[in-house]
Amino acid sequence: MKRVLAFDFGASSGRAILAEYDGERLTCREVHRFENCPREQNGHFRWDFADLMKNVHQGIEKAGAFDSVGFDTWGVDFGLLDETGALLEDPVHYRDGRTEGMVEQALARLNADTLYAATGSQIMPINTLFQLLAMRQSAPDTWNRAKRLLFMPDLFAHALCGADVCEMSIASTSQMLDPRTGGWSREVLDAFGIPESLFAPLVNSGTVVGEYRGAKVIAVAGHDTQCAVAALPSADPNAAFLSCGTWSLLGCELDSPVLTRESRLAALSNERGAGGKVNYLKNIIGLWLIQESRRQWRREGQEYSYARLEQLALAAEPLRSFIDPDDPSFTPPGDIPGRVRAFCQRTGQPVPETVGQVMRCIYESLALKYRFALEQLSRLTGRRFSALHVLGGGAKDGLLCRMTADCTGVPVVAGPVEATALGNILIQLMALGEVQTIREGRVLIARAEPLKRFEPDGRDRWQSACARFTHLIQ
């Protein structure tokens, strides 16, 4: 019997999942769940790293004995260490406004086609490269004192056992990794004066990087999306995935990156997967729109459960007005319902007034954006997708899964809900020699996890809406 502990950190909460594997059967249970509460500090929106580490230790104590532990988190964010290995300051949140204008400044030095061809990453202000350039400009003292950069999952491993590594999948979210070689892009580092010595040695997913109380500390796929994709419960090469949580990441697995100008203009990313594959995907704002809308209504004194919001959306008039989920106005925290109304007014559409109308607009806009992204992927890869696997929290949202199937015309398979933690666990079991391949692990997960299938129905009803939506976002 092997017991492994997976820490899965999301942007608003974290969980510790303890798994037991007897060579045939995998069982999992949540031993600790906690809030992830970023806050304003020293002029920036930051993660509370000390509080997160306190919860790591609480999760470890609740888990009891285990053979290994691994961490996965959101992408792009990092901590900076001084020459003694101490954290200089709490990591800055990717939603902080410090990167405003940095993309434009960077592209004046290295044009977009060149930057994309060198890294394969969708050019987004939140990416690590632009965070570093902003920090060097606004906080030169911190930049000068920094001797090591560790991405968030590697920072947790460092705090636990002193590990000094940079796991490949999380590095591929930085806009600085060459997706062809798996090494840092000298072209990008040289263009922006970033020393390669700032980064820890690169390691593959599944590398044992240290020990804690006799348990192995394993660098799993540090980027939570790549953990989720590792748990994709299908061996079909024509299956697409939608890792759906606060962010939605819709993509497919490839053997090599796509680095063309057309790919850049489509805002697609090439990220390193746990099994050595390239996960070719599009970043889309996801359940954040629903989560933050619910928080806004709560701030206004109105409390709605997610089930009630879904009911109100179902009761509202369909296909009335849409937003582009990735419009920059929806990125910061705050009054998302008000911004939805402002977007619709600005674009000459009927303005959603009621809670149900706002929710219907968000749900339908997400489904339409998924269709748009799926068609881009199909065009650029030449693949016709047989199914779309919804992984993570979005698998619980029956309305979103139903709308996505109907809108795209592709069967949607929902589950597993805890795909990220399961991928984390699978990679640990591979590192321990208990599971031999990603494919073998996927078969194990498909056998153990309940899945729900949504067959497409009424795609024709979405045709005119799709044309309106495409015109809107272009």
C-alpha–C-alpha distance, residues 219 and 156, integer Å: 10
Q: What is the CA radius of gyration of the chain?
A: 21
Catalytically annotated residues: 224
Whose tokens are 């590192």? That residue is 431
C-alpha–C-alpha distance, residues 312 and 308, integer Å: 6
β-pair type (387-391, 412-414):
parallel
Whose tokens are 């991405």? That residue is 151
Token pair listed for 420: 């990220």
C-alpha–C-alpha distance, residues 274 and 207, integer Å: 11
DSSP 282-320: EEEE-THHHHHHHHHHHHTT----HHHHHHHHHHSPSSS
Contact 262, 380 (CB under 8 A): yes
C-alpha–C-alpha distance, residues 373 and 382, integer Å: 14
The dihedrals phi and psi of 45, each to the nearest 5 degrees, come to: -85, 120
Is residue 96 within a helix (H) or strand (E), and if so which, with residue range? none
Bridge partners (DSSP) listed for residue 279: 253, 271
β-pair type (239-244, 247-254):
antiparallel
Please tell me whether the peptide bond between 416 and the residue prior to it is cis, using omega within 30 degrees of 0: yes
DSSP 147-201: -EEEEHHHHHHHHHH----EEHHHHTTSS-B-TTTSSB-HHHHHHHT--GGGBPP
Bridge partners (DSSP) listed for residue 9: 14
* Short-list 314, 342, 311, CA closest to 329: 342
C-alpha–C-alpha distance, residues 383 and 240, integer Å: 10
